[in-house]
Structure 1
Amino acid sequence: MSGELILVVEDEPRIAELLERGLHSVGYRSERAASGSRALELWRAARPALILLDLNIPTPDGLEVLRTVRRESDTPVIILSARAEEIDRLLGLELGADDYVLKPFSPREVLLRVRTVLRRAQASGPRQRPQVQVGELRIDLEAFEASCGGETLPLTRVHLELLSRLASRPGRAFSRAELLDNLGDGTLHERTVDTHIRNLRARLGNCGAQLETVRGVGYRLNAAQLSVPDEDS
C-alpha cells in the first residue's frame, strides 16, 4: 500500500469513480476535480504525487491545466483523452505530459501507467526547485510564493499568477493579452492587467521596481539583476 495521493481530473462521474476505485484498490489515495479551475486549486493545496488529467474538461481545459502545472512544478501528469488525433498526442507530450492514455481504457492499464510513471519519477529524484531571483525579489515557482529581502510577501493568487508568468522568462516582454490568458478567465478585459500590475507593485514594495512597463507592449521582469539562487538556499 503506497498511500500516495493521485489527483483525478475528469468531468464524467462514471469514469472518475472507476478510476478512483481502481486507485483505492491498490492503496493510493485520491482527490477528484471536474473542472480545470478546481484541479489547479486542489493541486496547489494538496500537492499530489501524480495527476490523471482528462483533456476535455471545462474552465480551463486540460492542456491549459498542463501548461500551468509545468510552469510551476514537475508533478508527473498522465493525460486521459478520447482525442486520438496525432496533434493532440504530440501537443500533450511536448507540453510536458509524462504519458498519454486513450479512451476507452481499462483501469488495469491506467494503474500500470501510474506505477510506471511514479517509479520513473522517484528513480530520477527531485529536481532543483525552480527559482528566479532578481535583485532582492525572489520567486519560487514550485512553492508558488515570493519574497523581497528575505521576507515572504502577502500576495494573492492573481498576483502570484502574474509574477510567475513574468518570472518564467525574465527580460521578455509579455503583452497584456498573454498575461490575461495566464489568469484563465476569459471574462476579464486586458486593461484589468494594468490594475493588477499596479497593485502587485505596491505589494512588492522596494522590489516593485523590478516590474517594468514596456510601452506599446505590456510588462516584463527586469533581468539586469538576474541571479541563480544557491541550491541549498
Structure 2
Amino acid sequence: MSAPLVTILDDEPSVRAMLGEALEEAGFRTMGFARAREFEAALRSAAPDVCLVDLSLPDRDGLTLVHRLALESGAAVIIISGRAQVQDRVTGLELGADDYIIKPFEPAEVVARVRARLRKRAPPEAAGDTARFEGWTAHFDRYTLEDAEGKETPFSHAEGEVLRLFLESPRRLISRAHMQEALGGAAGESFDRAMDVRISRLRTKLREDPRNPRLIKTIYGAGYIFLGDVSWE
C-alpha cells in the first residue's frame, strides 16, 4: 500500500520546500504547486489524501477552491494562511475545510495535523463504506447520499465526518464535547459554529424540516441524537 499523498498549494517556494521536506521525512508522498491552475490540472490524474491550501493565491480565491475541494474531493482539506482573524477561520471551516493553520507555523505541527486528519478519516474496522438508513444510502467511498429513487446528492468530507459520527451511534446522545474529541479541532465558538453549519447542511440534503427534523434532533443544552435504524455494508 502506497504512502498517503499530500498536495501543497502555496505560491511561496520556501513554504513548499519546507513542508515537502518535513512531510516526506515523516513518510508521506508530496506534490507541490504554486498556482491553483496547475493544482486543478493535476487533480485529473492524482487523488490526494490531504490537501494543504494557502488562501492567498495569485490566480484564484483560496476560499472558493477550498469549497470546491470539500464538495468534490474525498481528501481532507487543511488551510494554511497568514490570515489570523477569527472570521477568516470560521469562513474557511464553514466552506468545508477540516482544519486551519495560521502562518508562521512549525513544520512538525503541520505533520501532526495531517496525521490527525488521516486518523479521523479512517473508518472503524467494524464499519464499511456504505450505510443504509430510513430510505437513504450514504456512500462514504464516493461522498454521496442516495435516496430511495436512486438520486444522488454529494456531501463534503467535513459533512461526511459528522454524518458518519451520527450513523455509527444511532439513538445515542452525542454531546458537543464528544464531537470535538472525535472530529478534532479547537473547542470554542468557531468549532461550535462550524458544527452547526455542517449539521444544517446535512439536514437540508436529507430533506429534513428545519423546524422539526425527523432524523437529526437537537437536544438543547446537551447535544444531538440521530433517530434512525442504520445498517452498514
**Aligned residue pairs, count:** 145
Deviation at 1:73, TM superposition (A): 2.6
Deviation at 1:132, TM superposition (A): 8.4
User: Counterparts of 1:30 and 1:89 in 2: how far apart (Å)?
Assistant: 25
Residue of structure 2 equivalent to 1:221: none
Deviation at 1:122, TM superposition (A): 1.1
- 3-state DSSP of counterpart to 1:8: strand
Answering whether residue 134 of structure 2 is matched by residue 129 of structure 1, we say no
Per-residue CA deviations over 1:124-149 (Å, capped at 9, x if unaligned) read 6751524589xxx988979xxxxxxx
Q: Residues 131 and 99 of structure 1: is their aligned pair in 2 closer, same or farther, counting only changes over 3 Å? A: closer
Residue of structure 2 equivalent to 1:90: 90
User: Counterparts of 2:154 and 2:94 in 1: how far apart (Å)?
Assistant: 20
Residue of structure 1 equivalent to 2:64: 64
Q: Residues 91 and 3 of structure 1: is their aligned pair in 2 closer, same or farther, counting only changes over 3 Å? A: same
Q: Which has the larger radius of gyration?
A: 1
Deviation at 1:100, TM superposition (A): 0.7
Q: Would the aligned equivalents of 1:6 and 1:48 in 2 still touch at CA under 8 Å?
A: yes
**TM-score (ref. length: structure 1):** 0.54
User: Counterparts of 2:10 and 2:47 in 1: how far apart (Å)?
Assistant: 17
- 3-state DSSP of counterpart to 1:45: coil
Deviating beyond 6 angstroms after TM superposition, the runs of 4 or more aligned structure 1 residues are 137-142
User: Counterparts of 2:44 and 2:23 in 1: how far apart (Å)?
Assistant: 21
User: Counterparts of 2:40 and 2:154 in 1: how far apart (Å)?
Assistant: 14
**TM-score (ref. length: structure 2):** 0.54
**Higher RCO (Cα < 8 Å, 6 or more apart):** 2
Percentage identity across paired residues of the two chains = 37
User: Counterparts of 1:108 and 1:131 in 2: how far apart (Å)?
Assistant: 34
Answering whether residue 42 of structure 2 is matched by residue 50 of structure 1, we say no
User: Counterparts of 1:118 and 1:130 in 2: how far apart (Å)?
Assistant: 16
Deviation at 1:69, TM superposition (A): 1.1
Q: Would the aligned equivalents of 1:7 and 1:43 in 2 still touch at CA under 8 Å?
A: no
Gapped regions of structure 2 (runs ≥ 5): 130-139, 156-203, 206-231
Answering whether residue 30 of structure 2 is matched by residue 30 of structure 1, we say yes
Tell me which amino acid in the other structure corresponds to 2:10. Answer: E
Q: Would the aligned equivalents of 2:7 and 2:51 in 1 still touch at CA under 8 Å?
A: yes
User: Counterparts of 1:21 and 1:115 in 2: how far apart (Å)?
Assistant: 15
Gapped regions of structure 1 (runs ≥ 5): 143-168, 171-230
